[in-house]
Structure 1
Amino acid sequence: MGAGLSRLSTIYRQGALGRRPAVPADFAELERRAERASSAKAWAYVAGGAGEGRTMRRNRAAFERWAIMPRMLSGHVERDLSVELPGGRHDTPVLLAPVGAGALMGADSDLKIARAAAATGTAYVFSNQGCNPMEDCATAMGDVSRWFQLYWSKDEQLVDSLIARAEAAGAAALVVTLDTTVLGWRPQDLNLGSLPFSRGQGIAQYTSDPRFREIVAGRPPQPAAEVTLGAIRTLLAMTRNHPGGFWSNLRSPAPRAAVETFLDIYSNPGLSWEHLATLRGRTRLPIVLKGILHPDDARRAFDAGVDAIVVSNHGGRQIDNAVASLDALVTIRAALGPSPALLLDSGVRTGADVFTALALGANAVLLGRPYMYGLAIAGQSGVEDVIRNVIAELELTMALAGVPDIASINRDCLVEA
């Protein structure tokens, strides 16, 4: 039995016993329930976007412009969802995107996501801004594929340290995020004055890193912060999120120094093609560049020898009124031809969306907000449910469209709506 029919059977059999799914099967209700389960600050960070939210809306509108054209009487009983990507073969064309500061949606967020990924056989791109060290997440995943997202720090030794740790943790690819050399204008967070990193959330890859700790130790003492109720709450949050015991952390300047060091060096605003040219000599891993939208940048990336790119506008979180990732995918695939490995990120919500992205030239997709919403609702099992629902809908869509495998999903499967 395929993933789709198996998922339907599980849900309907439970329904016959009077049990409804904890995690909704449609995205609109998933989003509504996740918002109810989240704090205002968590929801602003995870669900919010840049500026007026036009890029987020455009990501969804791009999918609406295409319609799937089913074909009948294919005679196919089984479907093969596996794909070959840099670093190995994957059971499905869906990977979990890196999402920073996930603990906003639940404690030990990255560990829960890693366990859910392992339980469903889904590759997970560890976030450089995660809330659990990559080594712990790698242990939780066992033999299931994991990639590592790299934010290029101002400190080159820290870049090397993170890459070395990713290799040691069994990462199958290195994903360099290009589009966050500075933070975008995010009104939902700004209106709350909320940045999770300033409270020590999302910096576990750094506080667990020997080079980062060396930088922190060499940092000169900082002037005392203004004492307000908010400052005390922030200090307590830093203390809780820093490695070690709460009371010893509370008496130490280390938590605050770690946060301030992170904010100073986590990303390099001067990142350039010259920096990227050094990567081949610094890692044995396949190199994936995330955040490319222009065909000229895509062409230059592959000319430089990278193994894949992720066509992404960061989920609409960096630039307001930017081009939709799906539209950029169409343009890039047309410009570069069928060979280069292109992944799509931003705007993917359902299995039918995955099908559409594959038909328009993606080799695989990265799923972001939906699984974070599952985490908010039901923790690890919520993430598992979202993954299984998306894969099930993809497999059922393939069955009903008459497609036997991922390679058969192409532009002929779509019409302009």
Structure 2
Amino acid sequence: MKPHLDSLPPDMISLDDYARLSRQFIEPATWEWLQGGSGQLQALKANETAFSRHAIYNRVLVDMKHGTTRSHLAGLDLAHPIALAPVGYHRLVHDQGEVATARGALDTLMVVSTMASVAIEEIAAAAAGPLWFQLYMQPHRDDTLHLLRRAETAGCQAIVVTLDTPVQPASHAAHKAGFVLPPHIDAVHLRENGPPPPVALSAHGRALFQAMMAQAPTRTDLEWLRDATALPLIAKGISHPGDAAELLAMGYDGIVVSNHGGRALDSAPAPLTMLPAVRSELGPDAVILFDGGVRTGSDVFKAIALGANAVLIGRPQLHALAVAGSLGVAHMLKLLREELELVMALAGTPTIADITRSTLVETDYPGGSSC
């Protein structure tokens, strides 16, 4: 990888600028892995276009002198409702990996991936803000419990269990580009895990269903996990309102409406499309995060208006990390927060609580304008 910038070029004024410039700092095959999605990219493209179906009313005559982006999320008091999603292998784009990202996550939450390339203990020692830990349930419960205890001991304040990728579809672009993890980069949290238990196929069995899916977490596993920790549990990768309601009934403390950044089911609906139905099903007090294609302050605003308490940012954190390390991550978050503040000011919404469904108007125009 190329050396990262020590200062930011004056034309870095949006997340699109970071995406554009980061390609110069990321290996081509890694770029395809980062930007790609599953199948024919239907879900990935849906995430990008869903926001254009909503426009924001410009409102006047509102006193904005005491406006603020401060947010409350599952016991956290945050400067804004923009957090870092769990993304694996940060060392693919920066030598310090997740440590550098954590240093740049000023005044907000970072969700550390099970597939991180730096140990949670090192990340926690460097973190500028609170941490949650994203958990993939492991084939052996002892391995899952070991991950859970490491996260607790490191000071993580919640566990985010991902449920939408019991099978990980391949990215065609990454496969064609020949992407493989370099030998010096791995998922450090999984080094001590034992091999998955063997599964005997029946005469007419298929490996996908009887081997891979045999390891997928079940209701019993999720109930066991609920009993295994006193930390808040957030279920990630939810799109169906019925699943969301069932998880909360099991004692889970919140959900993340997400389609894994377009990397799971290729025909999955855009999370933004499902947000209103999930919020309606769960009621006004449930903790709902949104993950899927946020690139501007307007996107943040729309996700909150449609039912999210906060949004998670995925790929842009690695774009920013690749360009300028911790400085880039901090600046990327600053840009989003400032864009959100501007939208709130023009929409007449002084606080996050003022951002409701009534602030939006439906539009069929790709540019997001109804006139």
TM superposition score category, shorter chain reference? 0.7 to 0.9
Find the counterpart in structure 2 of residue 416 from structure 1: 362
Provide Cα deviations, 1:259-280, integer angstroms capped at 9, x if missing partner. xxxxxx9997321111101122
Alignment of 1:260-271 (within 5 A): 269-271=215-217
Q: Is 1:346 equivalent to 2:292 in the alignment?
A: yes
Pair 381,361 (structure 1): closer, same or farther in 2 beyond 3 Å: same
Match of 1:9 in 2: none
The size of the alignment, in residue pairs, is 344
Residue 66 of structure 1 is matched in structure 2 by 54
User: SS at the partner of 2:66?
Assistant: coil
| Equivalent residue for 1:321, pick from 267, 273, 276 | 267
- In structure 1, the gaps of 5 or more residues are 1-18, 220-264
Contact 2:14 2:332 in 1 (8 A): no
What is the percentage of aligned positions where both structures have the same residue? 38
Contact 1:182–1:269 (Cα < 8 Å) also in 2: no
Does structure 1 residue 360 correspond to structure 2 residue 309? no
Matches within 5 A, 1:2-401: 21=9, 24-117=12-105, 120-141=106-127, 144-196=129-181, 199=183, 201-207=185-191, 211-212=192-193, 215=194, 269-401=215-347
Distance 1:194 1:373, change over 3 A: same
Alpha-carbon separation, structure 1, partners of 2:214 and 2:78:
32
TM-superposed CA distance for 1:23, in Å, is: 6.9
Q: Report SS of the residue matched to 2:150.
A: helix
For residues 267 and 386 of structure 1, what CA distance do their matches in structure 2 show? 38
Q: Distance in 1 between matches of 2:316 and 2:216?
A: 32
Q: Does the CA-based 8 Å contact 1:116-1:383 persist in structure 2? A: yes
Normalised to the residue count of structure 2, the TM-score between the two structures is 0.87
Q: Is the 8 A contact 2:30 2:174 kept in 1?
A: no
What is the rounded CA distance, in whole Å, between the counterparts of 1:123 and 1:50 in structure 2? 27
Quick check: 1:23–1:385 contact (8 Å CA) kept in 2?
Answer: no
Q: Which secondary structure state, in structure 1, belongs to the residue aligned with residue 30 of structure 2?
A: helix
Larger Rg: 1
Partner Cα separation in structure 2 for residue 180 and residue 348 of structure 1: 21
**TM-fit CA distance, 1:40:** 1.2
TM-score, normalized by length of structure 1? 0.78
Tell me the alpha carbon deviations over residues 14-51 of structure 1, each in whole angstroms, 9 at most, x when there is no partner.
xxxxx973672233332221122211121011111111
Per-residue deviation, residues 149-190 of structure 1 (Å, max 9, x unmatched): 001111211111111111111111000011122211210121
Give the Cα separation in 2 of the matches to 1:41 and 1:167.
35
RMSD: 2.2
